[in-house]
Structure 1
Amino acid sequence: MPDTPSKQKSLIFLSLLCFSLADVRDGLGPFLGVYLQSLGWMPDEIGFVMTAGGLAGLVCTTPLGALADHTKYKRGLIATSVLLIVVACGMIFSWNGAAAVTFSKILSCTAAAAIMPALTGITLGMVGQQGLPARLGTNEAWSHAGNAVTAILGGVIGYTSGIPGVFFVMALMGGMALFCLWGIAPRHIDYAVARGLNPDSIGHAALKSKKLYPLFTDKSLLVVGMTLFFFHLGNAALLPLLGQSAVARFEVNAAAYTAGTVVLAQTTMILTALWGAHIAQRKGYGPLFYMALLALPLRGCIAGLWNSPWSIIPVQLLDGVGAGLLGVATPGIVARLLQGGGHINMGLGFVLTIQGVGASFSNAYGGLFAHHASYSAAFFALAAAPCAGLALLTITALFLPALRHALKGEPVSTVIAVYTAHGLI
């Protein structure tokens, strides 16, 4: 599909969509934890509510990925999700009892589960497999820029009018997201390519796409999912606990400090995502995974050992490295592993489900350590989790040719053909 001026306009709207969705997709993000803390909630209570919402959203992630594969209304799917998230977050400030907050979190997490597969499908349908690594870097850079800008706005508004003011920033970004979806022309999305079908073999791939069971037994895909499980088990709770720890121990302003943590990390992620896309094009997604998995243990140890509010600087710089690299690597390696099968978005939903289990348990895992031991102990416990993911990825890549070569950046379809011809798989 040629890059006409009209298509370039759609790509610009795609960038702006990533910018605006960044704030909406995460709901209130770390601001929710410090808001509930201000209402007298304990760390473990906050962790359990976040875990409940995350687990509920996980139930829908893979089915919503399948929906993103099969529907041509991907823009409508994202629009519906945006509206539901804004409504759910607004409910928290109207009814902040345990049941109401839990229900709101469940609703927002469920709606957010549809965004990533649908957005990846739109991106793939617009640029194809060849242009995907570079475009993923661009998407991530705009996404992190959106998080940084809205965190600044949220911090300023939260400082002057309280954390509920952060909601109005999110609602504004939700409106911008709807406008950007309208600006992406449907004719610029190849819906066969968007689900992973090869343009030169649509008939054959369509037959393959009817078989779903190999998707859930693909060893390489499972390893990627479990690696991300361990990463997010250690990652998801670190920033909320860092904010809660600083408020409890150093009496910093909750809204301003939380905004500062977000801005610092997101600014780092912009540069890291662009650099990561360049590395992925040249050397594959493997280096991105390894650097992200190594950054998180270091991040947790610094948070646990440096008893100062200034620990935010190295901790969040490393957060930017890890999250920025995985934001490019995760959809990219799934698209590469499942190329030609017609279920890329469902496969991404499957991987995000496994990843989300880790992220959901992370809040309860970290919250229990913080409540029954100390915040420092919680940071050390979180730092240990990605080490298991690092070991898993390294060892299994030795025995799975498809995974090993996908990490190195070689087309998996070519690798499989060569190994099959030599009777190796």
Structure 2
Amino acid sequence: MKLNKAMLGTNFFAGDVVGGLGPYLAIYLLAGLQWSPGSIGIVLAIGSLTTVAFQTPAGAFIDNTSSKRLLLASCALLIGAATLSILLFSQYQIIIYVAQILMGIAIAFVGPCIAAITLGISGPEHFTVQMGANQAANHSGNVFAALLGAGLALWISAEGVFWLVAMMAIGMAICVGMVDGSKINHNAARGGLTHSSNDGDEPSALATVLSDKRLVTLVMCVFMFHFANAAMLPLVSQKLSINSNVNIGIAFVSACIIVAQFWMVLMSLLCAAKADAWGRKPLFLLAFFILPIRGLLFMWLEDPYALISVQSLDGIANGIFGVIILLIAADLTHGTGRFNLVQGALAAVVGIGSAFSNLIAEEIVQFFGYAPAFITLASLALVGGFMYLILMPETLQKRVDTDTDVSPHQTS
């Protein structure tokens, strides 16, 4: 299969646009603006909860729109503008809150929209390969941005990371514009069976999709994964920035991101090559059981270089999760026409888990310290891993579609 280069470019820029500001924002607010850990947890949670509120409706909207490219480019530009507003109007707390809300809305559409366009171009038979390549490009873009961010923070200004996100947003919008809209089959993009027409299958009833017990189990496990994972990097970054300045803190975060993203690239390529052979469950279990090890190491270690090395585990876990969760969603919704609705709902669960993670972990830090917070996160990861092991069956099935002899691309 020939990979879609425009989608690879879109994903290269998207990684920093969607997630690039998060860990930097915590450091900027703590060391640069002297916010309390509790206040930082609230502002991070606001963005996550906003994404949660819009995630499922965003998926349903994407299932029914043919303007996916315009929607994706607009969201990228909105994120860039909101990022700059935090920097330019940092003296006004209300601006920071509003910017987080706007970014939360835009982020709700970005991931599902990219996945939908990918599925519409590649079809389900090539989705694993293209999506794995997309994620590898995404993580490569994060490495690129983190290197630039570290250089900007150390040698120019910590504020440079905000401008970097805005520039990456523009690059993402340009790449989206390069995607050939005529190649997107909008019925295939929502998980429908018919590949030769955009008007073939009607989506399955929502109750039919929600009655799948595997989906309920997956929702619970995804929540636990991000409840355990989301706060770890912000916490360790804050821990090390207590006796340093904002520039050093941002440089440390950049180093952590670079190490993690390197492994994420490798894990994305591994999933693209082996997920259809090994199945989804072994890979997801590997990602789950790495999290408690990472949490305990963050608690025990103090040396910055050792902590940066531990971020390799984050790269392995999240590199697997980024690909596998979309493959499982495609497995569970194949033929239903509800792919984007379900992946939007799963992304909402990611947001809920992340919001609870940041909010509760920051409160634990404020009242009890960093060690109890890391122990709590590690314990949650262990519980979630056993939930997936015991309750979730393998979702990969060898299927023969009635339309496999028809190209997934829309015919002109």
**TM-score, length of structure 2 as denominator length:** 0.92
1:239 to 225, 230, 233: 233
Partner residue of 2:409? none
1:286 to 281, 284, 291: 281
1:163 to 152, 158, 161: 158
Partner residue of 2:18? 25
Is 1:123 the counterpart of 2:110? The answer is no
Partner residue of 1:181? 176
1:273 to 256, 268, 281: 268
Q: Is contact 1:405-1:411 (8 Å) kept?
A: no
1:75 to 62, 69, 80: 69
Aligned counterparts of 1:363 and 1:213: Cα–Cα separation in 2: 32
Is 1:339 the counterpart of 2:326? The answer is no
Aligned counterparts of 1:255 and 1:52: Cα–Cα separation in 2: 22
Partner residue of 1:50? 44
Partner residue of 1:88? 82
Q: Is contact 2:188-2:195 (8 Å) kept?
A: no
Partner residue of 1:360? 355
Q: Is contact 1:304-1:379 (8 Å) kept?
A: yes
Q: Is contact 1:27-1:86 (8 Å) kept?
A: no
1:318 to 308, 313, 321: 313
Question: CA separation of 1:203/1:64 partners in 2, compared to 1, >3 Å: closer, same or farther?
Answer: closer
1:143 to 132, 138, 141: 138
Deviation, 1:136, is 1.6
Deviation, 1:237, is 0.9
Question: CA separation of 1:188/1:223 partners in 2, compared to 1, >3 Å: closer, same or farther?
Answer: same
| 2:4 partner amino acid | L
Aligned counterparts of 1:200 and 1:25: Cα–Cα separation in 2: 30
Aligned counterparts of 2:347 and 2:173: Cα–Cα separation in 1: 24
Question: CA separation of 1:191/1:204 partners in 2, compared to 1, >3 Å: closer, same or farther?
Answer: closer
Partner residue of 2:192? 197
Deviation, 1:201, is 9.7
Q: Higher helix fraction: Structure 1 or Structure 2?
A: 1
Q: Deviations over 1:97-138 (max 9, x none)?
A: 332212111110111110111100111111111111122211
Question: CA separation of 1:211/1:22 partners in 2, compared to 1, >3 Å: closer, same or farther?
Answer: same
Q: Is contact 1:89-1:167 (8 Å) kept?
A: yes
Aligned counterparts of 2:228 and 2:244: Cα–Cα separation in 1: 24
Is 1:393 the counterpart of 2:394? The answer is no
Partner residue of 2:408? none
Other structure's SS at 1:199 match? coil
Other structure's SS at 2:150 match? helix
Deviation, 1:27, is 4.9
Aligned counterparts of 1:204 and 1:341: Cα–Cα separation in 2: 14
**TM-score, length of structure 1 as denominator length:** 0.89
Aligned counterparts of 2:78 and 2:217: Cα–Cα separation in 1: 32
Stretches of structure 2 that go unaligned for 5 or more consecutive residues are 402-412
Aligned counterparts of 2:280 and 2:137: Cα–Cα separation in 1: 20
Q: Is contact 1:122-1:189 (8 Å) kept?
A: yes
Q: Is contact 1:337-1:412 (8 Å) kept?
A: no
Aligned counterparts of 1:405 and 1:30: Cα–Cα separation in 2: 34
Partner residue of 2:254? 259
Aligned counterparts of 1:116 and 1:326: Cα–Cα separation in 2: 14
Partner residue of 1:14? 7
Deviation, 1:216, is 3.3
Q: Deviations over 1:140-180 (max 9, x none)?
A: 11000000100110111122232211111111111111111
Deviation, 1:291, is 0.5
Q: Deviations over 1:272-308 (max 9, x none)?
A: 1111222202011111210010111100000001122
Aligned counterparts of 1:362 and 1:84: Cα–Cα separation in 2: 26
Q: Deviations over 1:81-102 (max 9, x none)?
A: 1111111111111222332212
Other structure's SS at 1:206 match? coil
Q: Is contact 1:226-1:355 (8 Å) kept?
A: no
Stretches of structure 1 that go unaligned for 5 or more consecutive residues are 398-403, 415-425
Q: Is contact 2:38-2:366 (8 Å) kept?
A: yes
Aligned counterparts of 2:198 and 2:161: Cα–Cα separation in 1: 49
Question: CA separation of 1:36/1:188 partners in 2, compared to 1, >3 Å: closer, same or farther?
Answer: same
Structure number with greater CO (CA < 8 Å, separation at least 6) is: 2
Q: Deviations over 1:292-344 (max 9, x none)?
A: 10111100000001122223234200000000000110111101110000010
Task: Show structure 1 runs of 4+ deviating over 3 A.
Answer: 200-205, 249-252, 411-414
Aligned counterparts of 1:202 and 1:224: Cα–Cα separation in 2: 31
Partner residue of 1:64? 58
Q: Is contact 1:61-1:114 (8 Å) kept?
A: yes
Q: Deviations over 1:40-72 (max 9, x none)?
A: 111121011111221122110001011111111
Aligned counterparts of 2:20 and 2:85: Cα–Cα separation in 1: 12
Sequence identity, in percent? 31
Other structure's SS at 1:60 match? helix
| 2:70 partner amino acid | G
Aligned residues: 398
Greater displacement, 97-106 / 55-64: 97-106
Q: Is contact 1:300-1:315 (8 Å) kept?
A: no
Deviation, 1:354, is 1.4
Partner residue of 2:215? 221
RMSD of the alignment, in Å? 2.0
